[in-house]
Each structure stands twice: as C-alpha cells, then as structure tokens.
Amino acid sequence: MKSIKMYTSAYCPYCSNAEKLLSKKGITQIEKIRVDEDLTVLKEMIKKTGRRTVPQIYIGDYHVGGFDDLRSLDLEGKLDPLLGIS
C-alpha cells in the first residue's frame, strides 16, 4: 500500500469523512499534518497544492485534493487501484 499524507486541522468534518473512507479501504496509517498549529505549514500546503482548504490528501506522490475529490475517485472505481488494493 502507498503512503497517505493528509493536511488537516483540529475540527474538520471533511477530514473525518476522508479518514472514515480510507479506513473502510483498510488504510490504518495516515500521516496527518496540522495546518492550524503552524502558519508555515499552512503556507507550505497552499504553495504545494494551490488550495487553502483541508483536507488536502496525498496518496504516495499523487495529490488527490480534498474529500470530495477522494470520494469521486472512489465512486469512479479509481481509488482502489491508486491505493494499490484490489
């Protein structure tokens, strides 16, 4: 399985939804990077993704986007192959 990295904040229902969806896929390890605790991390996320909202999810080196993007990949049948599961 590929590594999962997620930019997140303390209270974020979309982040929770993303975690739940990934958990249903058998993902138990998510590297969480809190943007609300360090302004430099927030600036890094914005520069890297071009987005200001959380979550911002990476599967390996691939930038998925936010929860809606993750869910769309799942509905299209593209999430499992991206995660390396069958």
Q: What is the pLDDT of residue 2?
A: 86
How many structural domains compose the chain? 1
Check if the beta carbon of residue 82 is closer than 8 Å to that of residue 62. Answer: yes
Residues comprising the chain, all counted: 86
The span from the CA of 48 to the CA of 17, in Å, is 22
Domain, as residue range, for 18: 4-83
The domain spanning residue 56 has which CATH number? 3.40.30.10
Token pair of 51, please? 């987005």
pTM: 0.95
Q: Which residues of the chain have pLDDT under 50?
A: none
Q: What is the pLDDT of residue 73?
A: 98
